[in-house]
Amino acid sequence: MGSSSSLSALHREKAAHWLLAGVACTALCVLCAIMIFLFAEGLPLFFEYSPVQFFGGKFWYPTSEPPEFGILALLAGSVSVMLLATAIAAPLGVLTAAYLTEIARPAVRRVVKPFVELLAALPSVVIGFFGMVVVAPWMQETFGLNTGLNLLNAALMLAFMSVPTICSIAEDALFAVPRSLREASLALGATRWETTFRVVLPAALSGIGTALMLGMSRAIGETMVVLMVAGGAAMLPGSIFDPVRPMPASIAAEMAEAPFRGEHYHALFAIGLVLFLFTLCFNLAASFIAERYKQTGSSAL
């Protein structure tokens, strides 16, 4: 009787093992299929169009004769919007996480945290609509601009979207810091602020770095918001008030008009390939930062 139940439990354990392995392999296969598809549809552009012209060209005129597929302006728009959005969202997200974990009382945390997480559930089209209807007219009147649809507007909306992601992951990283570190710092005479900024935050730096990388990935890959509020001008930005056209906006706006398997079609997939490589670099950087600071923290302890 006991041996049969043990055998049954062993079979269930093996079944669960193979089920989880199958799910993991499925996710990996889907990722590989997407990568192969992007390479298959994007690389043919470079058989007839120089990579130097593609990455260094300042003009994106896919319907001209001959067409021009220079993504330098699109790339500059994506990078500038991502960096400005991260500069706004990073301190807001990390400091909010620090407040929730180190300062806020449990009753306050139960109220504030659901509202922060609710921001992540807002559809991107709603945030883009808010940027068009509310932020753009206010920015245009306040700063005397020709248009409120510009780089700063897009960065503000993307920061608004990235804060919940950064806050949630940074909060988990701060909660994972051992309580003994806090108690030791306080016992040595440090204040709560000194303990938070000199002990807790450095100890959670790997998780905070991961949160920032995910926030940057969210910002550079977002489509609807930048399509609605960035201005749509494929030009190199000279200031934060200039309209820009990030790479995801070009893909969303032009894919329906691109002739199937034509140069324009392959150029849009090549842009998607560039976005994929950006995201891959961010993930590798996050992994490197997490591993480096993990080793540093272990050796310090």
For residue 301, pLDDT beyond 60: no
Q: What rounded mean pLDDT belongs to the chain?
A: 86
**Is the domain of 38 the same as that of 86?**
no
Count of other CB atoms within 10 angstroms of residue 125 = 12
Percent of the chain with pLDDT over 90: 33
Nearest one of 181, 217, 171 to 300, comparing CA atoms: 181
CATH of the domain at 57: 1.10.3720.10
How many structural domains is the chain composed of? 2
- Give the span between the Cα atoms of 246 and 123, in whole angstroms: 19
Q: Collect all residues with Cβ–Cβ distance below 8 Å to 100 and sequence separation of at least 6.
A: 109, 112, 113, 116, 167, 171
Confidence of residue 296 (pLDDT cuts 50, 70, 90): very low
**Is the domain of 133 the same as that of 159?**
yes
**Is the domain of 64 the same as that of 110?**
yes
Report the DSSP beta bridge partners of residue 231. 244
- 227-284 pLDDT, tens digit each: 999 988 888 888 999 999 999 999 988 888 888 888 899 999 999 999 988 888 887 8
Which has more pLDDT, 298 or 101?
101
Count of other CB atoms within 10 angstroms of residue 193 = 11
**Is the domain of 92 the same as that of 167?**
yes
**Is the domain of 57 the same as that of 16?**
no
Instruction: Tell me whether residue 189 is exposed, middle or buried, using C-beta atoms within 10 angstroms of its C-beta: 0 to 12, 13 to 18, 19 or more.
Output: exposed
**Is the domain of 159 the same as that of 21?**
no
Phi, psi for residue 60 in degrees, rounded to 5: -120, 95
**Is the domain of 127 the same as that of 11?**
no
**Is the domain of 130 the same as that of 17?**
no
**Is the domain of 160 the same as that of 279?**
yes
Contact at 8 Å (CB) between 35 and 275?
no
Q: Which residue has the tokens 């043990």?
A: 6
Count of other CB atoms within 10 angstroms of residue 188 = 10
**Is the domain of 12 the same as that of 142?**
no
Nearest one of 201, 207, 166, 165 to 185, comparing CA atoms: 201
* pTM across the whole model: 0.85
**Is the domain of 43 the same as that of 78?**
no
- Give the span between the Cα atoms of 287 and 162, in whole angstroms: 19
Range of the domain at 37: 2-47
Confidence of residue 203 (pLDDT cuts 50, 70, 90): confident
Percent of the chain with pLDDT over 70: 94
Start-to-end CA span in the chain (Å):
50
Contact at 8 Å (CB) between 225 and 154?
yes
Contact at 8 Å (CB) between 236 and 76?
yes
Contact at 8 Å (CB) between 99 and 113?
no
**How many residues are listed for the chain in this entry?**
301
Helix H segments across the chain?
2-42, 51-56, 72-98, 106-121, 124-130, 136-143, 151-175, 179-187, 192-195, 201-203, 205-221, 224-229, 247-254, 263-300
Q: Which residue has the tokens 């079979």?
A: 11
Residue 116 corresponds to which amino acid?
Answer: V
**Is the domain of 19 the same as that of 126?**
no
